[in-house]
């Protein structure tokens, strides 16, 4: 049985993830600064339009932050072993999204100097913005080192079946597919084709999958049926053991 692979993000992936996280933090910092400004200067009957504009800008910043944060987690995921860290790292975008609006929402409704119409409009827009920021920040499918490791091992088994027990594949920097054939139509003639194991493609690019065209071609040329690919032997053993 071939040895099991263990995912560990490449130094380049870690560096890129760090950069995404820094930009995310920066976006949230500006969003919070915008919120403080809105609280101090824009809660009023005359400034309602500016308050709404500020809410929209804060919302864009919050969503930008959580999008970058999720990207970073896909390159350099957390381990499931530490449940608390895993939760916070993956749902940090949702937490920041709510924090970018919650104080503003409370202070709009508590303000005694604005009339009830202003309060109703500004308050409901701020609540909707908070919900959008919070929900879009939730990671519904949080990546983990363990999940990546499992995927890599499953995919490596399949590639070995397709490729004469060899897990050497090809990929380009753009896109998330890797290829069994160097002359596959999707990468033929492209600059900067990398050759390496399935594991390496995950470690350098995050989530990766086998090119469908290459899979179909390998199955056709090498007489491999769907059934051969369904569940690799090593996994059947695992299921029996459980």
Q: Which stretches of the chain bind Zn ion, using CB under 5 A?
A: 179, 184, 186, 211, 213-214
- Please state the closest distance from residue 164 (CB atom) to Zn ion, in A: 17
Q: Which is nearer to Zn ion, 160 or 186 (CB)?
A: 186
Q: Which is nearer to Zn ion, 68 or 184 (CB)?
A: 184
Single out the residue of 99, 108, 116, 93 nearest to residue 51, CA to CA. Answer: 108
Nearest distance from residue 234's CB to Zn ion, in Å? 25
Residue 215 C-beta: closest distance to Zn ion, Å: 8
- Classify 164 as helix, strand or coil: coil
For residue 108, the number of C-alpha atoms closer than 13 Å in the C-beta half-sphere is: 28
Helix, strand, coil shares of the chain, percent, nearest 5, are 65, 5, 30
If the CB atoms of residues 58 and 169 are measured against Zn ion, the closer one turns out to be: 169
In this complex, which beta carbon is closest to Zn ion, that of residue 16 or of residue 177?
177
In the complex, least distance from residue 159 CB atom to Zn ion, rounded to whole angstroms = 12
CA angle 207, 164, 8 (to 5 degrees): 30
The answer to whether 181 and 219 are in contact (CB under 8 A) is no
- Nearer Cβ to Zn ion, position 24 or 184? 184
Output 126 or 214, the one with its CB closest to Zn ion: 214
Tokens 């040329």 identify what position? 221
Least gap, CB of 170 to Zn ion (angstroms): 8
CB proximity list for 24: less than 8 A, separation 6 or greater: 64, 65, 66, 68, 69, 72, 93
Closest distance to Zn ion from the beta carbon of 229 (Å): 16
Task: State the helix-helix crossing angle for 212-221 and 145-162, rounded to 10 degrees.
Answer: 30
Distance between CA 216 and CA 167 in Å, rounded? 16
């Amino acid at each position: 049985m071939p040895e099991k692979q263990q995912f560990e993000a490449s130094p380049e992936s870690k560096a890129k993830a760090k950069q995404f996280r820094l930009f995310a933090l920066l976006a949230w910092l500006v969003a919070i600064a915008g919120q403080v400004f809105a609280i101090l200067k824009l809660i009023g009957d005359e400034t309602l339009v500016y308050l709404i504009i500020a809410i929209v800008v804060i919302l864009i910043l919050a969503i930008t932050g959580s999008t970058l944060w999720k990207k970073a987690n896909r390159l350099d995921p957390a381990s499931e072993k530490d449940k608390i860290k895993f939760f916070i790292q993956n749902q940090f975008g949702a937490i920041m999204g709510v924090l970018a609006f919650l104080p503003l929402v409370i202070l709009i409704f508590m303000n005694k100097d604005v009339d009830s119409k202003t309060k109703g409009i500004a308050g409901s827009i701020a609540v909707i913005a908070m919900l959008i920021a919070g929900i879009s920040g939730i990671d519904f499918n949080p990546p983990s080192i363990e999940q990546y490791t499992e995927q890599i091992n499953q995919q490596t088994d399949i590639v070995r079946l397709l490729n004469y027990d060899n897990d050497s594949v090809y990929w380009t920097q753009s896109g998330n597919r890797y290829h069994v054939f160097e002359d596959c139509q999707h990468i033929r003639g492209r600059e900067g084709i990398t050759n390496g194991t399935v594991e390496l493609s995950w470690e350098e690019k995050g989530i990766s999958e086998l090119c469908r065209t290459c899979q179909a071609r390998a199955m056709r040329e090498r007489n491999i049926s769907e059934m051969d690919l369904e569940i690799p032997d090593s996994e059947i053993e695992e299921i029996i053991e459980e």
